[in-house]
Chains A and B, each alone.
Chain A
Amino acid sequence: MKTKALILTILAVAVMMIPTAGVLAATEFWQGAATVTITDPVAITCTGGDGSYNDTDHTWAVSIIGGGTKTLKLTATNTSTAGYTVYPIVQPAASSDGKVTATWSNAAGKYIAAGTAWEYTLTVTSAADAPLGTYAFNLAFSK
């Protein structure tokens, strides 16, 4: 009982000691802004091949004759301090009739150590009897 009374007394005194005036308010005297841009540690660049490649929208256009083959070479550069397994992806892998195909080298993934790079080759092949026309393939890299 005495202990509780003592605790209550100490709390009351502590509350009474809280100043009601004279607290200095912080004054803002400088302003600025910080812009932080996070970029992916693995960069993809075109390092060769046929046709024309647009690095802005990542589009590759190429013409091919029946029975021909064309390639696109893209290099993945790992600028981070950690290694990654980078997977090249193409969808679909072939036209609906199977006459035009697109395949990546190292499609099962390639481990790229920190500070190193690896070149992937996309090979498109047209069968001799492939119908004339334009075929689109979606490309991607994952890690």
Chain B
Amino acid sequence: MRLIIALLIVLASLGCARKVSQAYIPPVAETLQSTTGVIQYDYKAGRPDEVKSPPAPRVDSVNPYLIPEYIDWEKYFPKQPDSPSTGSSSGGGGTIYVVIPTVFWSGVATVTVE
């Protein structure tokens, strides 16, 4: 009888661990370091309620054409993990490098309405 109860407890604990694994959704942006043309995100995995939108890249004063719309955030911060193999809500993490387009040509259009 005791053996059966112990076995049930073990199975129940395995079920809880499975639920935690399914709740794993990376990433959470932690820090932002911006250099010319590249934004580096250090992130960690987190529970769904901890996931927040990454901060928008700042507009470079030298290059005013860098606006957030040019970055496909979903591409770099997917909603679902590629390999949720840790089984823990605190697993995963790493660094993502986002390359920002840089302006290599500029000009001016003058339109005269007459």
Q: Name the B residues within 8 Å of A132 (CB-CB).
A: 113-114
Interface size in chain A (residues, C-beta < 8 A): 40
A interface list, Cβ under 8 A from B: 40, 42, 44, 57-66, 70, 72, 85, 87, 89-91, 100, 102, 109, 122, 124, 126, 130-143
Do A140 and B111 touch (CB < 8 A)?
A: no
Do B65 and A102 touch (CB < 8 A)?
A: no
Most buried by A among B65, B70, B101, B113: B113
Secondary structure at chain A's binding surface: helix, strand, loop or mixed?
strand
Do B109 and A140 touch (CB < 8 A)?
A: no
Nearest CB of B to A107, in Å: 10
Q: Provide the B81-107 mask, 1 if CB < 8 A to any CB of A, else 0.
A: 000000000000000000001111111
User: 3 closest Cβ contacts across the A-B interface?
Assistant: A58-B107, A142-B101, A139-B107
Confirm or deny: B3 has a beta carbon within 8 angstroms of a beta carbon on chain A: no
Total A-B residue contacts, Cβ distance less than 8 Å: 106
How distant is the Cα of A139 from the Cα of B109 in the complex, in angstroms? Answer: 7
> Which of A42, A62, A89, A139 makes the CB contact (< 8 A) with B112?
A62
Nearest CB of A to B67, in Å: 9
**Chain B interface bracket (under 10, 10 to 19, 20 to 34, 35 or more):** 10 to 19
Q: Assuming A87-B70, A141-B104, is B109 touching A60 (CB within 8 A)?
A: yes
Nearest CB of A to B51, in Å: 26
Confirm or deny: B16 has a beta carbon within 8 angstroms of a beta carbon on chain A: no
Do B113 and A138 touch (CB < 8 A)?
A: no
> Which of B64, B107, B108, B114 makes the CB contact (< 8 A) with A64?
B114
Q: A63-B112, A142-B103 are in contact. List 15 more A-B contacts (CB 8 A).
A: A58-B106, A61-B110, A62-B110, A62-B112, A89-B103, A90-B109, A91-B64, A100-B111, A100-B113, A130-B113, A132-B113, A135-B111, A139-B107, A139-B108, A140-B105
Q: Assuming A58-B107, A89-B103, is B65 touching A140 (CB within 8 A)?
A: yes
Nearest CB of A to B98, in Å: 14
Q: Name the A residues within 8 Å of B105 (CB-CB).
A: 40, 42, 44, 58, 140-141
> Which of A42, A44, A134, A142 makes the CB contact (< 8 A) with B65?
A142
Do A60 and B113 touch (CB < 8 A)?
A: no
